[in-house]
Amino acid sequence: ETGVTQSPTHLIKTRGQQVTLRCSSQSGHNTVSWYQQALGQGPQFIFQYYREEENGRGNFPPRFSGLQFPNYSSELNVNALELDDSALYLCASSRDRDGANVLTFGAGSRLTVL
């Protein structure tokens, strides 16, 4: 059983640029959630994808967008990068979107915006 994989692991961008982060969900999981974790903070919910549709969103502006593909992998896109976007971006997959299903996290993508 393969776990959740994310790429790239580290990247550096400048303000105003755009970034795409990628995530492959764990085998058997159909739901993907994205989180932003700033230094010293807990993970903040960005959005969740289920059956290729966004079915929940946290308090993030529209320049944060995503996709889920038929194989349940997912992308997070951030446009017009700001310095405050510097954080660890975590992808988590779950077997379904029901309450009891636990999240399994990938190793994360650490984004630095200069």
Size of the site for another protein (CB under 8 A): 27
Q: What DSSP character marks residue 85?
A: G
Closest separation in Å from C-beta 54 to another protein: 9
- The strand pair at 10-13 and 109-113 is best described as parallel
Place of tokens 């230094």: 39
In whole angstroms, the minimum distance from the beta carbon of 91 to another protein comes to 9
Site map for another protein, 53-82, x if CB under 8 A? Answer: --xx-x------------------------
Q: Is 99 in the site for another protein (CB under 8 A)?
A: yes
Sign of CA dihedral 69, 38, 8, 82: positive
β 19-24/53-57 pair status: unpaired
With binding defined as CB under 8 A, does residue 106 bind another protein? yes
Residues 16-45 that bind another protein (CB under 8 A): 33, 35, 40-45
Token pair belonging to 92: 């988590």
